Structure 1
């Protein structure tokens, strides 16, 4: 699996986005569109499941906070854009997602990142990618355990300080000053 310090692979995928189930739009997206901003890229195993929509909706509720930090949220699985479209129309928590659901139907991106599971589905992985296309954070959880998008946002905040952040640090709190720590201040 690619991890911190690795270059996030270039990609071009179809996806679905839109303000409501009646106005969903299918279109092509690419890494080029987001090359000068932070990206929060998360994978879920498959559509029409149980844990996945809880995470997707939670990322959606925090989308404005990610956007305030110049970070684009991008969610994807190996399902097609047509399956994503049907799921968004079927599931009330997904109808108004403010970010695209991307279709890695050929599994090229999940293979390049090393997050295709032995069962052929995407692992429950998340990557925070900086504006230079370098992975700054990666995490995979068991398929039965949903991620915490607030923790991903907290990590993004810490990364964007470009300073040393202690355990459980939150935006607005003091960062660590190694000079002061070494001098006993």
Structure 2
């Protein structure tokens, strides 16, 4: 699996557009998103195993509710599974929790991105619940993978993004607005 310090792989995928625009029907709902889209932005890329399942819409809806928070931090959020854009669109039409989703749903139908990242579940052949924070230079700064039966916490992803963007030493459970660690002060306090 690719991890912190690795370059995020290049990709070119069809996606269901974010927000109500994504429900315009098959001819109007789709867009192409590539690794070159949204230059200069942080990217949050999260994967789920399958559409029309039980845990996935809870996570997707939670990321969607935080889309504005991520945007305030100069970050874009991409949701990805190995289902097609047509399946994504149908799922959005019939699931109230994600109907007006504020993030695009990317279709990795050839599984090329999932394979390049090393996050395909070996037995099921679907993406694990992986999340990546990618800096504006395309380098992975945070990676997390859950098994298929455990949902993740998008609020924690936002917290980690905040910490990464400080470019400082952030202690356990650090939150935006709190002080980062100052090694000089720690050495001075220890010496006193």
Give yes or no for TM over 0.5.
yes
Q: Secondary structure at the match of 2:156?
A: helix
Which one of the candidate residues 83, 95, 112 is aligned to 1:91? 95
1:14 aligned partner: 14
Distance 1:167 1:19 in 2: 35
Say whether residues 1:100 and 2:104 are aligned partners. Answer: yes
What residue in structure 2 maps to residue 76 of structure 1? Answer: 80
Please give the TM-score of this superposition, normalised by the length of structure 2.
Answer: 0.94
- How far did residue 106 of structure 1 move? 0.1
What CA RMSD, in Å, does the superposition of the two structures yield over aligned residues? 1.1
User: In 2, distance between residues paired with 1:54 and 1:17?
Assistant: 19
Unmatched segments (≥5 aa) in structure 2 = none
2:155 to 147, 150, 156: 150
Q: Which runs of 4+ in 1 moved over 3 A?
A: none
CA contact (8 A) 1:35 1:133 kept: no
8 Å CA contact 2:18–2:105 kept in 1: the answer is: no
Matches of 1:160 and 1:115, distance apart in 2? 25
Q: Can you give the 5+ residue segments of structure 1 that lack an aligned partner in the other structure?
A: none
CA displacement, residues 63-109 of structure 1 (integer Å, 9 cap, x when unaligned): 00000000000000000000000000010111111110000000000
1:3 and 1:81 map into 2 onto residues whose CA distance is: 27
2: CA distance between counterparts of 1:94 and 1:184?
51
Supply the distance in 1 between the matched residues of 2:167 and 2:42 (Cα, whole angstroms). Answer: 14
Q: Aligned match of 1:115 in 116, 119, 126?
A: 119
Aligned-pair CA distance for 1:18: 4.1
CA deviation vs aligned residue, 1:18-37 (integer Å, no higher than 9, x gap):
43374251121111112311
Relative to structure 2, which stretch is displaced further, 73-82 or 25-34?
25-34
Contact 2:14–2:85 (8 Å) recurs in 1: yes
The worse-fitting range, judged by mean Cα deviation, of 11-20 and 67-76 is 11-20
The residue correspondences of 1:15-34 to structure 2 (distance < 5 A) are 15-20=15-20, 22-23=23-24, 25-34=29-38
- Conserved? CA contact 1:11–1:31, under 8 Å: yes
